[in-house]
A and B are shown apart, each in its own frame.
Chain A
Amino acid sequence: MFSWLNDLINRFIDWVHYRTGIKDIVKEQITEYRVPPKLNKWYSLGGLSLFIFGLQLVTGVLLLVYYVPSTDSAFASIQRIMLEIPYGWLVRLSHAAGSHMMVVIIMLHMVSVIFMGSYKKPREMTWLSGCALITLTLAVCFTGYLLPWSQLSYWATTIATSIPEPIPVIGPFLVKLVRGGDQINPDTLNRFFALHVIVIPAVMLALVGFHLFLVRVLGISGSRDSKPEDQR
Chain B
Amino acid sequence: MTMFQKPKLPKGMRFPTFIMEDVLVIFIFMAVFCGVVFFFPQLIVFGDAEVPADPFNTPEHIKPEWYFLASYQFLKIIPSEFGALILMSVAALLFVFLPFIDRSKENNILKRPVFLTLVLVCIIGFVGLTVWGYLS
Residue numbers of A with Cβ under 8 A of B are 30-31, 33-37, 39, 41, 43-45, 47-48, 51-52, 71, 75, 89-90, 93-94, 96-98, 100-101, 103, 105, 107, 111, 114-117, 119-124, 127-128, 131, 138, 141-142, 145, 148-156, 159-160, 163-168, 183-184, 217-219, 222, 224, 226, 228, 230-232
A168 to B95 Cα, complex, angstroms: 25
Task: Judge whether A156 and B12 touch: CB under 8 Å.
Answer: no
In-complex Cβ contact of B95 among A105, A120, A131 (8 A): A131
A113, closest chain B residue (CB): B98
Residues of chain B with a CB closer than 8 A to A116's CB: 107, 109
In-complex Cβ contact of B65 among A47, A51, A141 (8 A): A141
A163 to B75 Cα, complex, angstroms: 9
Task: Judge whether B59 and A151 touch: CB under 8 Å.
Answer: yes
- Mark B67-97 against chain A: 1 for CB-CB distance below 8 A, else 0: 1100010010000111001000000000110
Task: Judge whether B64 and A160 touch: CB under 8 Å.
Answer: yes
A230-B7 in contact given A36-B12, A127-B98, A152-B48 (Cβ < 8 Å)? yes
A122, closest chain B residue (CB): B4
Tell me how far the C-beta of A172 lies from the nearest C-beta in chain B, rounded to whole angstroms.
13
A94 to B34 Cα, complex, angstroms: 8
A31, closest chain B residue (CB): B15
Task: Judge whether A149 and B52 touch: CB under 8 Å.
Answer: yes
Interface of A is mostly: helix
In-complex Cβ contact of A153 among B4, B18, B53 (8 A): B53
A30 to B95 Cα, complex, angstroms: 34
Task: Judge whether B10 and A166 touch: CB under 8 Å.
Answer: no
Tell me how far the C-beta of A217 lies from the nearest C-beta in chain B, rounded to whole angstroms.
7
B17, closest chain A residue (CB): A35
Task: Judge whether A159 and B11 touch: CB under 8 Å.
Answer: no
New contact pairs (8) apart from A35-B9, A51-B22, CB-CB < 8 Å: A44-B26, A114-B109, A148-B49, A151-B49, A152-B48, A155-B59, A219-B6, A222-B7
Task: Judge whether A75 and B53 touch: CB under 8 Å.
Answer: yes
Residues of chain A with a CB closer than 8 A to B68's CB: 138, 142, 160
